Amino acid sequence: MPFATLAKRTRNAIVRGPQSIRTKLTLWYLLSLAAALALFAALVFSARAQTIDDEADAVLQAHVQRLVRDLRAPLLELDVVDALVEDSHLSREPVTVRERSGTALFRSPAFPVLPGPAETQCASAARAGTDLVTVRDRTGVPYRVSTAVLDRAGASPLVVQLATSTAPVRLALRELALALTIGVLVVLSAASYGGSFIARRALKPVEDIDARVRAIQASSLSDRLDIHTGSVELDGLVATLNAMLDRIETSMRGARRFAADASHELQTPIAAMRMVVDLCGQGGDGGARACAMAADLAADVDRLSALVRDLRLLALADGGHLIDQAEDVDLTLLVHECADIVRAVAEPRRVTVAVDVLSDVVVDGSARHLGRALLNLAQNAVRYSPDGSSIQITVGRLDQEAVVAMVDEGCGIPADDLPHIFERFYRADPARARDTGGSGLGLAIADQIIRSHGGRLEVTSAVGVGSTFLMFLPYRTAVDCPAPAIHRDSINAG
Ligand code: ADP
């Protein structure tokens, strides 16, 4: 099979369909080795063939020169033909003696019988004095013919041609080709075992990693791969997989806790509703009690549906589907609207809500969701502030970001709780937070919304002094350019 075909088939076998890397590696290795060996064998063969040809020609030329020396006496005779015929030694040599013109004077019985064209070729070689020609006899057997010229004093020169079959040379070349082919095949078959063995050894760590990863179940996510392969690449893969397992474990733990917290949160209003329904079932207490129960029921239903809405919003944000289509959001306007809403709750407690606009800022995003995030922060500020305190909301630009700062003089958040307050259902002071009507999702939702807008939420707080929430959003444009920038120190509290 020609090498190109073999290469094409091997390539097709490699490219088509999924195969083990070991097979692919072995095949590619064999293919490249076969190409290298074939090239090497071809070079060796052609160099050796040239040497064998040259050696055979040299032997033939030496032979014809020796013959001319041996035949010098008869060739110098006047009747050359008779002298040659009488030379018994000559009958065994495949020799022809010609005039310089090419006319054959004597042809020994051992000289091959040449067809017309070959004869003409020999005659031309005699005329031209061409040293070596290759001709075929009547049966097609190739012969090498060497020509030597003998100058004769006072007579025209004579040409002696000696023929020898090239069969031995061709046989030697065939043997050489056979030896090279066998050698290449032996090396290739040994290499296929070697290549497969090396590939298996090289891929053993991959199989180990695969087996270990398969063994890690959802219930054993804390397991890690403790495999040291001794290869930089595979050790890197193991480290990457371990890091991925860390992330999966963290998120699975979060998901489990979230599911437990959510069911716990849902249980309370459902139990309350069940109790109200049971009481209603006992009946007989008149209209006023029924009205009170219905009001309780409605409040619990509202709480339940708000919780379900919040859970849905978080699920959408987790999936990255919170903002369908971004719009221009006038952050200043949004802050004013939010302040107006919370003032309705703040004023009865003499809590003042002041808005300070350092620059009008427009951002890209969803006004509805950003309004919700602002409202969550502002409601918390009012909720956790003592009566008669004040809340300061500042909107402006900090470096290349739009920023809203919400500063209150409330109870503050203990340092231990600060890293957790953006977690879902986390309450720094559960009893108090439940009393104030919080579900523990307000900050988690605000944080998710802001992160969905490419921003971030930061908090600093000191117990008994107050808290500062900083909402950063990618800055798009200031309505009044150039906008004065806020300095962090001027808005941080606590
Ligand atoms: P909640 O609905 O309980 O208020 P949040 O997610 O909004 O839940 O807040 C989480 C916790 O962070 C609250 O329980 C509260 O302890 C604390 N917190 C949030 N905002 C403030 C604030 N402005 N001042 C003091 N504590 C706060």
The CATH number given to whatever domain includes residue 90 is 3.30.450
Q: What is the mean pLDDT of residues 371-380?
A: 96
| One domain for residues 332 and 441 | yes
Report if residue 227 sits inside a domain. no
Mean pLDDT of 388-416: 94
Instruction: Please tell me whether residues 392 and 413 are part of one structural domain.
Output: yes
Q: Which of 417, 421, 432, 467 to mutate to test the pocket of ligand 1 (most atoms within 8 A of CB)?
A: 421
Same domain, 351 and 407: yes
Tell me if 80 is assigned to some domain.
Answer: yes
55 within domain boundaries: no
CA–centroid distance, 429 to ligand 1, in Å, is 8
Query: How far apart are the CA of 100 and the centre of ligand 1, in A?
Result: 122
Q: Is 442 in the pocket of ligand 1 (CB under 6 A)?
A: yes
Measured from the Cα of 428, ligand 1's closest atom is 16
pLDDT of residue 482: 42
Last residue of a domain, one of 317, 344, 373: 317
Determine the residue of 424, 427, 435 to mutate for testing ligand 1's pocket, defined as the one with the most ligand atoms within 8 A of the Cβ atom.
Answer: 427
For residues 328 and 464, membership in a common domain is answered with yes
Residue 364 above 50 pLDDT?
Answer: yes
Quote the percentage of the chain above a pLDDT of 90.
Answer: 39
Compute CA distances 91 → 84, 146, 316, whole Å: 9, 18, 109
Beta-sheet pairing, 104-107 with 352-357: unpaired
Q: Residues 40, 160: one domain?
A: no
Distance (angstroms) between ligand 1 centre and the Cα of 425 equals 10
pTM over the 0.85 mark: no
Task: Verify that 286 and 390 share a domain, yes or no.
Answer: no
The pLDDT tens digits of the residues spanning 438-461 come to 778 999 999 999 999 999 999 999
Q: How many domains does the chain have?
A: 4
- Choose one of 266, 287, 317: the last residue of a domain: 317
Q: Residue 480 has what pLDDT? A: 43
Asked, for residue 388, whether it belongs to a domain, the answer is yes
364 shares its domain with 469: yes
Higher pLDDT, 235 or 11: 235
CA pair distance 391, 375, nearest whole angstrom? 13
3-state secondary structure 402-420: EEEEEEECCCCCCCCCHHH
Q: Is the distance from the beta carbon of residue 411 to the nearest atom of ligand 1 less than 6 Å? A: yes
**Mean pLDDT, the chain, whole residue set:** 84
Strands 132-136 and 401-408: unpaired
Residue 221 within any structural domain of the chain: no
What average pLDDT does the segment 118-134 reach?
A: 88
Enumerate residues 6+ apart whose C-beta is below 8 A from 86: 74
176-207 residues labelled b (16+ CB within 10 A) or e (exposed):
beeebeeebeebeeebbeebbeebeeebebee
Q: How far is CA 427 from CA 263, 302, 348, 419, 462, in A?
A: 16, 21, 25, 12, 16
Instruction: Identify the band that residue 485 occupies on the pLDDT scale cut at 50, 70 and 90.
Output: very low
Q: What is the pLDDT of residues 146-195, one digit of tens each?
A: 998 888 777 788 888 999 988 888 898 999 999 999 999 999 999 888 88
Name the residue with tokens 């937070």: 433
CA of 421 to the centre of ligand 1 (A): 7
455 in contact with ligand 1, CB cutoff 6 A: no
363 and 477 in a single domain? The answer is yes
Q: Which domain holds residue 354?
A: 324-493
**Average pLDDT, stretch 418-445?**
80
> Is the C-beta atom of 471 inside 6 A of ligand 1?
no
Confidence grade of residue 307 (pLDDT, cut at 50, 70, 90): confident
Range 80-101 average pLDDT: 80
Neighbours of 478 (CB within 10 A): 18
428 pocket-lining for ligand 1 (C-beta < 6 Å): yes
Whether residue 385 sits in one domain with residue 328: yes
Give the per-residue pLDDT at 484.
Answer: 43
The CATH number assigned to the domain holding 397 equals 3.30.565.10
Residue at which a domain ends, from 165, 190, 224: 165
Q: Is the CB of 448 under 6 A from ligand 1?
A: no
User: Across residues 10-33, what is the average pLDDT?
Assistant: 73
User: For position 491, what pLDDT does the model report?
Assistant: 42
Write out pLDDT tens, residues 22-54. 888 888 888 999 999 999 999 999 999 999 999
The better pLDDT of the pair 7, 462 is held by 462
Residue 220 located in a structural domain: no
Which residue has the CA at smallest separation from atom 25 of ligand 1? 412
Question: How far is C-alpha 209 from the geometric centre of its chain's CA atoms?
Answer: 18
User: Comparing 388 with 256, which gets the higher pLDDT?
Assistant: 388
132 and 238: one domain?
A: no
Residue 353, strand partner residues: 391
- pLDDT given at position 479: 44
Residue 84 burial (CB count, 10 A): 22
| Same domain assignment for residues 478 and 337 | yes
Give me the percent of the chain exceeding a pLDDT of 70: 89
58 assigned to some structural domain: no
Would 151 be classed as within a structural domain? Answer: yes
Q: Which of 443, 447, 461 to mutate to test the pocket of ligand 1 (most atoms within 8 A of CB)?
A: 443
- Asked whether residue 411 falls in the same domain as residue 266, the answer is no
Residue 361 beta carbon below 6 angstroms from any ligand 1 atom: no
Instruction: Identify the pLDDT of residue 7.
Output: 58
Q: Residue 389's pLDDT band (boundaries 50, 70, 90)?
A: very high
Cα 147 from Cα 96, distance rounded (Å): 9
444 lines ligand 1 (CB under 6 A): yes
